[in-house]
Amino acid sequence: MFPAIFLDRDGVLIENQANYVRDWSQVEVFPEAIVALSDPKLDTYKIVVVTNQSAVGRGIISIETAISINDRLVGVVRDRSGRLDNAYICPHSPDDDCDCRKPKPGLLLQAAEEMSLDLKRSWMIGDAWSDVEAGHAAGVRGTIIIKTGRGEEQLSLSRPKGNGNYFICNNLSHALKTILEFDNVD
């Protein structure tokens, strides 16, 4: 079984869009994210995107479009020598009460089962409290909230009850370095 680093998409890898990312032309990849994902020290981890895409459940975009955006993002990161091993989408709206919409752990649990991941040695990085909550609910080793995307705004809000310990990092690069230091990866 492999340890994983789970990443939220919007606000971690790409810029958030106020009215949802509706097509590839709206995707603005954080350049530092691609550089960070090219660190060979990450080779011992599976890198997995787990993203809520309620625009699908709200009828704003199709599931095919959402999958296409994720597939293209994975391709761009790989083409620039970064690494993403897989991407999982929750297509439901907040009202659907599904098991895969973060803060519930369904996407992480699905990825763990399908990719033979060891959640107890894995990490969750996101820009929202729901990401931290999903990580804790899945039983990952550690969670990190980053200040990009909605992170600064989320940190100004009250922390949800029941969240365990977590790290605060400036961006994805800082978060990945924190993980490598904490896990003592040379």
3-class DSSP state of 167: strand
Percent of the chain whose predicted confidence (pLDDT) is above 70: 98
Rounded-to-integer distance, Cα 69 and Cα 66, Å: 5
CA 160 to chain CA centroid, Å, is: 19
Which region among 26-40, 131-145, 149-163 has the lowest average model confidence (pLDDT)? Answer: 149-163
Domain boundaries, the chain: 4-182
What tokens were used for 145? 């909230």
Q: Average pLDDT for residues 21-37, to the nearest whole number? A: 95
Hey, what are 171's tokens?
């961006």
Q: What is the pLDDT at residue 162?
A: 66
163 pLDDT above the threshold of 80: no
Q: What confidence tier does 157 reach under pLDDT thresholds 50, 70, 90? A: confident
pLDDT digits (tens, 9 = 90+) for 48-98: 999 999 999 999 999 999 999 999 999 999 999 999 999 999 999 999 999
Q: In what order do the strands lie in the sheet with 167-169?
A: 86-90, 46-52, 4-7, 123-126, 142-146, 167-169
Mean pLDDT of the 131-157 span: 94
**For range 25-45, the mean pLDDT:** 95
CA pair distance 155, 168, nearest whole angstrom: 9
User: What pLDDT does 10 receive?
Assistant: 97
Superfamily in which the 4-182 domain is placed by CATH: HAD superfamily/HAD-like (3.40.50.1000)
Overall average pLDDT of the 113-134 stretch: 97
Burial 108-141 (b: 16+ CB within 10 A, else e): bbebbeeeebebebbbbbbbbbbbbbbbbbbebb
Average pLDDT, stretch 145-159? 91
pTM: 0.96
Asked if 84 contacts 172 with a C-beta cutoff of 8 angstroms, the reply is: no
Residue with tokens 């297509």: 91
The residues annotated as belonging to the active site are 8, 10
The pLDDT confidence band at residue 18, using thresholds 50, 70 and 90, is confident
Supply the mean pLDDT for the chain: 94
Rounded CA separation 149/167 (Å) = 16
Give SS3 for 134.
helix
Nearest one of 162, 112, 170 to 140, comparing CA atoms: 112
- Distance between CA 158 and CA 67 in Å, rounded? 33
* Whether pLDDT at 186 is above 70: no
The span from the CA of 13 to the CA of 110, in Å, is 21
Query: Among 8-12, 68-72, 160-164, 165-169, where is mean pLDDT lowest?
Result: 160-164
